Structure 1
Amino acid sequence: MFGSLTRYSLGQYIQKHLGKYFPIGTIIINLTGALVLGILNAANLNAKFYILLCDGFLGAYTTFSTFMFDGVKLFHTDKKINAISYILITIVFGILAYMTGHKITSLFT
């Protein structure tokens, strides 16, 4: 519940201030979620904390359904270059964010 409330509130705030024509709010939410997941994954949490934070909070914080909805919406409004950019940015930088978080934590553990 807390993850979805955080996602919605933060996403609305970001979108209002940074992007009317591009789903920057969803990108930022998903990339920060990937970064934090990488950090927590490398931290070797016990199973209960992992389920609570990674599966629970981050699972609700990040959103695949909104990512798909935003991408399809861009295609349907003839913003194909924006749609392709959005999808590629989310996937490529999501992987890089996860790897960065994992690497940073691995350096300190």
Structure 2
Amino acid sequence: MNKKRMFLVFLGGTLGGLCRFSIDTTLQYFDSFFMISTITVNLVGPFLLGLVYNRFNDTLYASIFITGFLGSFTTFSTLTVHLTMTLEYNALSFYIYLLCAMTFGFVMFLIGIKVQQLVGERHV
């Protein structure tokens, strides 16, 4: 990876993070059980990715927008690309990947919480 691409990823990541923060801050008053800001970025991110994916694929624009901006705006965009590539290959693999990504992602999140609670109790 060259320095120019690294800088573009950094710049895009900064802008994506700021946009995510702005949406979280703006929608925090409307958040409920469904966490509107998270759903918003997790739907807007893949939409934006779909708009530019084929056009920016493997260019400097991909570094700034796809990897940088969308990478910090939402990680759901990456999952969407992987699922799309898997679906093009094999429908069964798509469903297995989707189930594993969502189920095991959630399970790992719960395990992380439990580990933090166990470690936290020992250090208190």
- Per-residue deviation, 1:3: 0.5
Report matched runs for 1:17-56 at 5 Å.
18-44=30-56, 47-56=59-68
Normalization by structure 1: what TM-score? 0.52
- Per-residue deviation, 1:54: 0.4
**1:3 and 2:13 correspond:** no
Q: Which has the larger radius of gyration?
A: 2
The alpha-carbon distance between structure 1 residues 45 and 34, as it changes in their structure 2 partners (threshold 3 A), is same
Report matched runs for 1:1-109 at 5 Å.
1-16=14-29, 18-44=30-56, 47-63=59-75
Q: Which runs of 4+ in 1 moved over 6 A?
A: none
AA partner of residue 32 (structure 2):
K
Give the equivalent residue in structure 1 for 2:99.
none
**Which is bigger in relative contact order (C-alpha 8 A, separation at least 6)?**
1
Structure 1: 5+ residue stretches without partners? 77-109
- Per-residue deviation, 1:58: 0.7
The alpha-carbon distance between structure 1 residues 3 and 44, as it changes in their structure 2 partners (threshold 3 A), is closer
User: Aligned pairs, how many?
Assistant: 68
Task: Give a deviation string over 1:2-36, Cα, whole Å, max 9, x none.
Answer: 100110111221131x2233211101011101000
In the alignment, the residues of structure 2 paired with residue 9 and residue 44 of structure 1 have an alpha-carbon distance, to the nearest angstrom, of 25
Structure 2: 5+ residue stretches without partners? 1-13, 77-104, 114-124
Secondary structure, counterpart of 1:43 in structure 2: helix
